């Protein structure tokens, strides 16, 4: 489990250096197997600055190259030859100056910017695409920055690139509660409190969560409650796929996750924040507007996200529409149900799946994913609902037109899946009230996760 030092400090106020935190974690049973200082973007984008294309003319000896002059805040503009089709005068760009070292696609192979001649015309830099900078995968032309991007500002500052420390924890099978940044923050807080220090875990506030309406209802039917004791979801409309905020991208890169787009990145962020896997479906691909949690007939073919057709057994729990299977529950998504660049409405799933079912299915297919790693060890069965509220909070903060339409839950006290108290996960035990052991765990900073033996039997309580 990779823990980012900067990300961890979002949930616990401490001035302890990263080295000391790593030492403490090992002392309290979360053995640190690796520790290194990292850059969230390899090379730190040194020598890359915000520039403005002042002029853009056709290259005299090419039918696709442009000769540009670029203002980078220096005494004189730079002449740069560029082949991007979207290059034009007035465009704000990220410009790699002579001497800058880039790591395309975030790999280990470096690319140094040198003074050069391209078909006889001198070029003093490069106008960069996302993949060339190692901050994304797009190569659809040079990055286009907002018109108010300040010329001459270092890209490192503009994109909020930070140095960080990566703490790699070797989790034992019984410590899935620490497979998240908040889980580790709880253990750290417990240690500090035991030594008389004031340490509190700051859980994200979700009190603003509320459905706008119920225009896009997706019914949920759980046919196998043994394998899926709890299942919840929300529908969101008006999605505009785009990049996630830079701070979120930095967090994900530090944890070893390549940012993709806002929907995928938020799902991954919540996974590494709370330890709860989420899955997003394109709502337009859910036939009958119904999600059915069930098994399929022996030998049913199913194509997973990697393009491989797999033959299901009658012991594999599937997330289905009214007509077909869409996802291997807790393990791997399907090729024809996930979100894409054209997705506008989504159904976001949060569930507690029986660890034994997930473990056997993952082993049967030889799949080991971030989701199956957590589900097969027994996640917190009281997190569903809070995590969806947290996910929607990030969507709302993205300011891209997202609208929450409907919240649904199946399982014990499903009618209270959307509740939260004091901005933290709420125990859905019902009339029995709060489990005293869980309350004591919260009081001493250890959180509210159930003992693993209870979760492993596949029961919410």
Q: Are 281 and 338 in contact (CB under 8 A)?
A: yes
pLDDT for 106? 75
> Cα–Cα distance between 285 and 283 in angstroms, integer?
5
Mapped to the 3 state alphabet, what secondary structure does the chain carry? Answer: CEEEHHHHCCCECCCCCHHHHHHHHHHCCCCEEEEEEEECCCCCCCCEEEEEEEEEEECCCCCCCEEEEEECCCCCCEEEEECCCCCCCCCEEEEEECCCEECHHHCCCCEECCCEEECCEEECEEECCHHHHCCCCCCCCCCCECCCCCCCCEHHHHCCCCEEEEEEECCCCCCHHHCCHHHHHHHHHHHHHHCCCCCCECCCCCCCCCCCCCCCCCEEEECCCCCCCEEEEEEEECCCCCCCCHHHHHHHHHCCCCCCCHHHHHHHHHHHHHCCCEEEEEHHHCHHHEEEEEECCCCCEEEECCCCEEECCCCCEEEECCCCEEEECCCEEECCCCCCCCCCCEEEEEEECCHHHHHHHHHHHCCCCHHHHHHCCCCCCCCCCHHHHHHHHHHHHCCCCCEEEEEEEEECCHHHCCCCECCECCCCCCCCCCCHHHHHHHHCCCCCCCCHHHHHCCCCC
Q: Are 386 and 206 in contact (CB under 8 A)?
A: yes
> Cα–Cα distance between 136 and 259 in angstroms, integer?
7
> Cα–Cα distance between 107 and 109 in angstroms, integer?
6
Among the listed residues 319, 330, 343, the one whose alpha carbon sits nearest the alpha carbon of residue 260: 343
Kindly state the average pLDDT of the residues 361-389.
92
Among the listed residues 148, 166, 137, the one whose alpha carbon sits nearest the alpha carbon of residue 92: 148
Among the listed residues 122, 70, 118, the one whose alpha carbon sits nearest the alpha carbon of residue 91: 70
Reported as half-sphere exposure (CB side, CA atoms, 13 A), residue 239 has a value of 30
- What would the two tokens of residue 183 be? 């889980």
- What would the two tokens of residue 430 be? 């019902």
> Cα–Cα distance between 152 and 310 in angstroms, integer?
53
pLDDT for 384? 86
- What would the two tokens of residue 352 be? 């507690």
pLDDT category at 397 given cuts 50, 70, 90 is low
Of the chain, the percentage scoring pLDDT greater than 70 comes to 85
pLDDT reading at 96 higher than 90: yes
pLDDT reading at 47 higher than 60: yes
pLDDT reading at 149 higher than 60: yes
> Cα–Cα distance between 72 and 104 in angstroms, integer?
22
Neighbour-count burial of 427, counting CB atoms closer than 10 A to its CB (0-12 exposed, 13-18 middle, 19+ buried): buried
pLDDT reading at 419 higher than 50: no
- What would the two tokens of residue 156 be? 């490192």
Kindly state the average pLDDT of the residues 399-414.
50
> Cα–Cα distance between 133 and 150 in angstroms, integer?
19
> Cα dist. 54→67, 76, 220, 293 in Å?
11, 11, 56, 57
**pLDDT tens digit string along 192-239?**
999 999 899 999 888 888 777 788 889 999 999 999 999 999 998 888
Residue 172 CB partners (closer than 8 Å, separation 6+)? none
* Residue 421 vs residue 139, higher pLDDT: 139
Q: Are 433 and 364 in contact (CB under 8 A)?
A: no
- State the sign of the Cα–Cα–Cα–Cα dihedral 120, 121, 122, 126: negative
Among the listed residues 159, 297, 320, 330, the one whose alpha carbon sits nearest the alpha carbon of residue 230: 330
pLDDT for 438? 41
pLDDT for 414? 34
Mean pLDDT computed over every residue of the chain: 85
pLDDT reading at 418 higher than 70: no
pLDDT reading at 430 higher than 80: no
Phi, psi of 306 (to 5 degrees): -80, 5
> Cα–Cα distance between 30 and 184 in angstroms, integer?
8
Residue found under tokens 């924040």: 273
Kindly state the average pLDDT of the residues 394-398.
60
pLDDT reading at 399 higher than 90: no
């Amino acid at each position: 489990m990779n823990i980012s030092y900067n990300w961890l400090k979002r949930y616990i106020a401490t001035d302890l250096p990263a080295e000391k935190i790593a030492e403490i974690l090992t002392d309290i049973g979360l053995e640190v197997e690796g520790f290194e200082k990292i850059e969230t973007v390899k090379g730190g984008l040194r020598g890359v600055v915000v520039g403005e294309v002042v002029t853009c003319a056709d290259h005299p000896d090419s039918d696709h190259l442009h000769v540009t002059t670029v203002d980078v805040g220096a005494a004189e503009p730079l002449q740069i030859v560029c082949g991007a089709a979207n290059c034009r005068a007035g465009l704000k760009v990220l410009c790699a100056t002579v001497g800058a070292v880039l790591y395309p696609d975030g790999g280990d192979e470096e690319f140094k910017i040198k003074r050069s001649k391209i078909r006889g015309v001198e070029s003093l830099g490069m106008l960069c695409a996302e993949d060339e900078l190692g901050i994304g995968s797009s190569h659809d032309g040079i990055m286009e920055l907002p018109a108010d991007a300040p010329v001459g500002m270092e890209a490192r500052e503009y994109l909020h690139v930070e140095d960080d420390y990566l703490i790699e924890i070797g989790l034992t099978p019984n410590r899935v509660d620490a497979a998240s940044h908040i889980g580790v923050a709880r253990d750290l807080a417990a240690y500090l409190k035991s030594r008389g220090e004031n340490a509190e875990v700051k859980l994200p506030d979700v009190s603003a969560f509320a459905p706008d309406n119920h225009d896009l209802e997706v019914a949920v039917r759980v046919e196998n409650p043994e394998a899926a004791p709890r299942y919840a979801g929300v529908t969101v409309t008006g999605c505009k796929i785009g990049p996630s905020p830079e701070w979120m991208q930095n967090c994900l890169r530090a944890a070893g996750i390549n940012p993709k787009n806002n929907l995928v990145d938020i799902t991954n962020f919540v996974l590494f924040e709370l330890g709860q896997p989420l899955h997003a479906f394109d709502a337009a691909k859910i036939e009958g507007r119904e999600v059915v949690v069930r098994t399929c007939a022996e030998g049913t073919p199913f194509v997973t996200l990697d393009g491989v057709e797999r033959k299901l057994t009658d012991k594999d729990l599937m997330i289905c529409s009214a007509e077909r299977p869409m996802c291997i529950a807790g393990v791997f998504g399907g090729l024809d149900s996930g979100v894409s660049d054209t997705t506008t409405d989504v159904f976001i799933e949060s569930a507690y799946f029986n660890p034994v079912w997930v473990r056997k299915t993952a082993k049967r297919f030889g799949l080991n994913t971030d989701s199956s790693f957590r589900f097969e060890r027994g996640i917190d069965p009281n997190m569903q609902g809070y995590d969806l509220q947290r996910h929607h909070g990030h969507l709302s903060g993205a300011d891209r037109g997202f609208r929450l339409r409907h919240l649904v839950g199946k399982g014990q006290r499903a009618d209270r899946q959307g509740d939260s108290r004091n901005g933290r996960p709420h125990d859905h035990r019902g009339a029995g009230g709060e489990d005293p052991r869980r309350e004591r765990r919260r009081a001493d900073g250890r959180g509210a996760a159930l003992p693993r033996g209870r979760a492993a039997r596949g029961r919410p309580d």
